[in-house]
Amino acid sequence: MPELPEVETTRRGIAPHLEGQRVERVVVRERRLRWPIPEDLDVRLSGQVIQRVERRAKYLLIEAESGTLIVHLGMSGSLRIVESGLPAAKHEHVDIVLESGLSVRYTDPRRFGAMLWSQTPLQHELLRSLGPEPLTDAFDGDRLYQMSRGRSMAVKPFIMDNAVVVGVGNIYASEALYAAGIDPRRAAGSISRARYQALAVAIKRILAYAIERGGTTLRDFVGGDGKPGYFKQELFVYGRAGEFCKGCGFTLKEIRLGQRASVFCVKCQR
């Protein structure tokens, strides 16, 4: 599933081709995503100038003059820029055709993504209860400490809770906990303020670096697959169960937390 750095890289890849451009029409070949694409999306968006492309958590907000298209990439979705009129392949469900001669093409083999229209996107039921963005001043160790008091749930699912902070998915939660030396099984309420401050710093650093690396590993949003790559060669724990810890050489252990695989080092993380 695309995580926050991959969604942000997608935003940066498509924004220069959309912002300031007028939509000629919207071609919907398959409406059955996680929620049905609105029947009147073509009417609402055609003729509109795209003002900006923003991101909130893992949602892309394509802001037009009279409303906003909320896009979620689901499990396997992607957006890329193609020449208008390029024949669509299987699973290429939507084209936003621009007067520039380019189109934004949405591909989603599993159809778990979403395209929804809203006049007030930040008040939409999918977005209004979200916590702060991790790379802003609204998120820090003090917030984690205060929100964790009295919580017995493990710290890893705690920091993956979108009401606590958005965009810390499985990959980056695992990596941040390793960087901060915190055992993912620890009760959230048992962790000190100082350790949460270290964890918040690690989350910010790792997400920012992943966004930077996403931009450099991305091949081309124009005619490419539109999928930024993870910085897999630089992961310390995620996906490395049974391998040696890069810090101490001990074998990394895998457990299940919140129905997710969690890999960590029993020596480096306490």
Q: Which of 93, 123, 153 is the last residue of a domain?
A: 123
CATH number for position 20: 3.20.190.10
- Give whole-number Cα distances, 5 to 57, 73, 122, in Å: 10, 13, 20
Query: Which residues, 6 or more positions from 146, have their beta carbon under 8 angstroms from its beta carbon?
Result: none
CATH number for position 228: 1.10.8.50
Q: Is 105 a catalytic residue?
A: no
pLDDT at residue 216, rounded to an integer: 55
Task: Tell me: is residue 151 an annotated ligand-binding position.
Answer: yes
* Inside any domain, residue 136: no
Task: Tell me: is residue 91 an annotated ligand-binding position.
Answer: yes
Q: Please, are residues 123 and 112 in contact by the beta-carbon 8 Å criterion?
A: no
* Inside any domain, residue 132: no
Both structure tokens of 147: 């929100």
**77 and 183 co-located in one domain:** no
Which residue in 11, 56, 58, 195 is the catalytic one? 58
Q: Is 38 a catalytic residue?
A: no
Which positions of the chain have pLDDT values less than 50?
A: none
**105 and 149 co-located in one domain:** no
Q: Which of 90, 123, 156 is the last residue of a domain?
A: 123
Which residue in 143, 246, 260, 267 is the catalytic one? 260
* Inside any domain, residue 159: yes
pTM given for the model: 0.91
**163 and 56 co-located in one domain:** no
* Inside any domain, residue 128: no
**Largest Cα span, the chain:** 60
Which residues span the domain enclosing 38?
4-123
Which residue in 3, 6, 63, 175 is the catalytic one? 3
**101 and 24 co-located in one domain:** yes
Q: Is 58 a catalytic residue?
A: yes
Task: Tell me: is residue 124 an annotated ligand-binding position.
Answer: no
Q: Is 184 a catalytic residue?
A: no
**184 and 97 co-located in one domain:** no
The pLDDT tens digits for 163-179 are 999 999 999 999 999 99
